[in-house]
Amino acid sequence: MRKPIILLASIAISAVVVLSGTLTRKGSDHEKRGTPRVTTGNGSQTSKDPPGTIDGSSTPQLIPDVVAYELFLNFFSNRAPNERAKLQAYNLDSIFAVANYYQQQVAPINARAQAIRESNRGSMMQDPMIVKAQLAPIAAEKAAFVQEVIAKIPNFVGTGRALAIRQHIDDRIRPHTKIVPDSGMSQTQTQTP
């Protein structure tokens, strides 16, 4: 009985990733807010990547859990009501519960970071290191919170589905993620096949 449930959960999660290509905005909201950019798209930009880029397609083990899980959680937390309705057909209520918990807790952290960015809008171009130094403690707080959420996922979805999520992240998210070195404005890209 457990194997069919785990298989069904894996299939549902894979279906969500396929749907993500049609449901995910191209990162314009992130660019407006000045947060790390998350985009989906086809094709490789290997020749355009700056030195030091971590490319999950060749070295998925170098994509940190915090980054991979944050992408996964953001996918579910940033769904419009009509998109959530489409995804409900896959019986993902427990995953939406994790995503809602994540979003509620991370919203104040994101708001503090946005306030720093807005109050230093001119400084970001002149001296991005000052802004980066102000954002560093908030980024560390957010990373620690994402680690806490990762540890709590089995409480929301059960051990079997938590393992299926981990497998999905290892097989589908990490290989399609790039971490571009910070040059004042960091960005993370995901690419769907």
Query: Tens of pLDDT along 24-47?
Result: 333 333 333 343 343 333 444 445
pLDDT at 160 (0 to 100)? 92
pLDDT at 3 (0 to 100)? 45
Structure-token pair, residue 18: 């396929």
pLDDT at 145 (0 to 100)? 96
Looking at the chain, the whole-number percentage of residues with pLDDT higher than 90 is 46
What residue ranges in the chain does DSSP mark as E strands?
Answer: 54-55, 177-180, 187-190
Average pLDDT over residues 112-134: 83
Edge-to-edge strand order for the sheet containing 177-180? Answer: 54-55, 177-180, 187-190
For the stretch 140-183, pLDDT in tens is 999 999 999 999 999 999 999 999 999 999 999 999 999 988 64
Closest CA to 73 of 107, 38, 98: 98
Q: Give the C-alpha separation, 114 to 120, whole Å.
A: 10
pLDDT at 121 (0 to 100)? 79
Looking at the chain, the whole-number percentage of residues with pLDDT higher than 70 is 67
Q: Where are the domains of the chain?
A: 2-190
CA 144 to mean position of chain CA atoms: 15
Q: 5-9, 83-87, 176-180: which has the highest mean pLDDT? A: 176-180
